[in-house]
Structure 1
Amino acid sequence: MSEMSNLQEYLIKLGANKVGFADVNGLANEFIDLPNGISLVLKIPKQAMTYIEEEDYESYWSCFHAQIDKLTEISLKGEEYIKDLGYDAFALTMKRNECDMKKLLSILPYKTIATKSGLGWIGRSALFVTPEYGSAVALGGILTDMPLEFGVPITDSQCDDCENCQKACPVGAINPQKWNDRLNRKDIIDIGACSKYIIKQYKAGLGCTKCMCECKLTQEYLKKE
């Protein structure tokens, strides 16, 4: 097997559900000058979604953050693995890739690496969507100069005419426009209205997961499980 295949197998053995590779040359300069990105996708367990149905947000966030901790562990072990091969690597952990809550945006969005890797697309809700798990996923990433064979980028939404997430949004933040990579995020979602509501919910110990839960592909994933 090639070094890349061995790396992919290693990351999946650590617990990643999907692994993809992308050209991110020039996008990661705020961190480190590394041209290649590795996208890590971890599904959110069905049990966590059950907590949402029961409005037990304390248990849901505990479960969700456990997935983030798992992604951090996978990313850091992946970084070490790549460095042991003689290449440079930088794990994009949540602490390193800090999210601006008002903009709901990381320094280098994990969704960018994931769509460029061909693992999924951006839904009407501006959440990342996979065919296997809908938007019930957590994302991570690693930057490296290790030679990789890139996936085929997904540049257009693969959602059909489903409007579940748009109709479920409690503040009407989701626009009818489907995503493509030529649009600005403001074309598909009012991020100001979204972030204001989410911050309010978090402060109350709640959350806003309606668009994720109502995604048709999320529902299909839960039924399969």
Structure 2
Amino acid sequence: MSEMNDLKDYLKRRGVSKVGFADVDGLANEFVDLPNGISLVLKLPKKAMYYIDQEDYKSYWNCFHSKIAELTEISLKGEEYIKNLGYDAFALTMQRNECDMKKLLSILPYKTIATKSGMGWIGRSALFVTPEYGSMVALGGILTDMPLEFGTPITDSQCDDCENCQKACPVGAINPQKWNDRLNREDIIDIDACFEYIMDQYKNGLGCTKCMCECKLTQAYLKGK
């Protein structure tokens, strides 16, 4: 598995914070018939929270989208790297993995690859949560037929009894039910209420990041614990 370790090192040198490998056989057929997924996790800089605290959402979104641009470049470089090894690969960029804004859902959610590779779990808010950075992360992915050693999938929430994100939601969209991979997303969050509020905020030049900000693990990351 030296090629796999070299790939992981390469992606980390390009700037990602965490790399994981998952079996996604059958989940990516809408794109290309490639059975293996590579999860790319990029932590958001702590200054992003400063922008939120100052209600400077323009700067926050500029910061966030700059990280998405970084992930796009890393994904495409990873695709090229894998192809140069003689395997097939498909960088799952935002443009390729088109998002349905009304459902707030991509064709193949990055969170699916990330949980299956053991990088983290889904919080009460339906955001992806990592033990190191909470929800202050951006996600990307690569599909490939390169042989990979898969991580252990996380199938149940590792959140404790904390209800910070649920209590912080301004429209009460977050349900008490904790995530597991046997549930539908609608079991843990009212996505219609969430979408309506977010769109209203965007129209006014604002945003809603309360569930991300109030996550206990996000706060621990910001405080450097």
Q: Do the two structures share a fold, i.e. TM-score over 0.5?
A: yes
Q: Which runs of 5+ in 1 are unaligned?
A: none
Q: Secondary structure at the match of 1:224?
A: coil
- 2:21 is matched by which residue type in structure 1? F
Matched, 1:64 2:64: yes
Residue 61 of structure 1, CA deviation: 0.5
CA deviations over 1:101-128 (Å, ceiling 9, x no partner): 1100000000000000000000000000
Find the counterpart in structure 2 of residue 156 from structure 1: 156
> C-alpha separation between the residues in 1 aligned to 2:175 and 2:95?
31
Q: Secondary structure at the match of 1:12?
A: helix
Q: Secondary structure at the match of 2:90?
A: strand
> C-alpha separation between the residues in 2 aligned to 1:170 and 1:147?
45
Q: Secondary structure at the match of 1:39?
A: strand
- 2:110 is matched by which residue type in structure 1? Y
- 1:207 is matched by which residue type in structure 2? G
CA deviations over 1:173-216 (Å, ceiling 9, x no partner): 00000000000101000001001111111122211100000000
Q: Secondary structure at the match of 2:51?
A: helix
> C-alpha separation between the residues in 1 aligned to 2:199 and 2:83?
38
Find the counterpart in structure 2 of residue 38 from structure 1: 38
> C-alpha separation between the residues in 1 aligned to 2:194 and 2:182?
22
Matched, 1:105 2:105: yes
CA deviations over 1:71-120 (Å, ceiling 9, x no partner): 00100000000000000000010100111111000000000000000000
- 1:21 is matched by which residue type in structure 2? F
- 1:20 is matched by which residue type in structure 2? G
Matched, 1:4 2:8: no
Find the counterpart in structure 2 of residue 116 from structure 1: 116
Q: Secondary structure at the match of 2:86?
A: coil
Matched, 1:168 2:168: yes
> C-alpha separation between the residues in 2 aligned to 1:71 and 1:202?
23
Q: Which runs of 5+ in 2 are unaligned?
A: none
- 1:8 is matched by which residue type in structure 2? K
> C-alpha separation between the residues in 1 aligned to 2:19 and 2:173?
31
Q: Secondary structure at the match of 1:170?
A: coil
Identical-pair percentage: 84
> C-alpha separation between the residues in 2 aligned to 1:86 and 1:7?
13
Matched, 1:186 2:186: yes
Residue 132 of structure 1, CA deviation: 0.1
> C-alpha separation between the residues in 1 aligned to 2:141 and 2:185?
21
Find the counterpart in structure 2 of residue 20 from structure 1: 20
